[in-house]
Amino acid sequence: DMKVTQMPRYLIKRMGENVLLECGQDMSHETMYWYRQDPGLGLQLIYISYDVDSNSEGDIPKGYRVSRKKREHFSLILDSAKTNQTSVYFCASSYGQGDTLYFGAGTRLSVL
């Protein structure tokens, strides 16, 4: 069953707290992505991972870091969350470069 699972779906945090967003996929895809989506800005790439411990910055990496210790899991970490990181975060995976992306349902994060 081809699936990208994100946890949690909704999260409320206070400014300065740490945030961990988890993503898993069951398709053995090598490449995984974290995006955020804000009104009027579309989807913006935060980080991309080509395989275990092979991660690269996307367009807006500042304030975020990632971890990929297993091919099927890709985590997004916010150390000391800021209010401007309130957004909807999408995880995605693909077989390889430029191939079809499969998205999770998204995590709605509110930083108060």
Partner 1 sequence: GDQVEQSPSALSLHEGTGSALRCNFTTTMRAVQWFRKNSRGSLINLFYLASGTKENGRLKSAFDSKERYSTLHIRDAQLEDSGTYFCAASHQGGRALIFGTGTTVSVSP
Burial class from Cβ neighbours inside 10 Å (0-12, 13-18, 19+) for residue 49 reads: buried
Helix, coil or strand: residue 74: strand
Task: Show contacts with partner 1 in window 5-64 (CB under 8 A).
Answer: 31, 33, 35, 40-45, 48, 50, 56, 58
- Distance between CA 76 and CA 100 in Å, rounded? 21
Closest CB to partner 1 among residues 27, 45: 45
Tell whether residue 105 is a contact of partner 1 (CB under 8 A).
Answer: yes
CB of 8 to partner 1, least distance (A): 13
Tell whether residue 87 is a contact of partner 1 (CB under 8 A).
Answer: no
Would you say 81 and 52 are in contact if contact means Cβ atoms under 8 Å apart? Answer: no
At position 84, the amino acid (one-letter code) is N
Give residues in contact with partner 1 (CB under 8 A). 31, 33, 35, 40-45, 48, 50, 56, 58, 88, 90, 92, 97-98, 100-106, 108
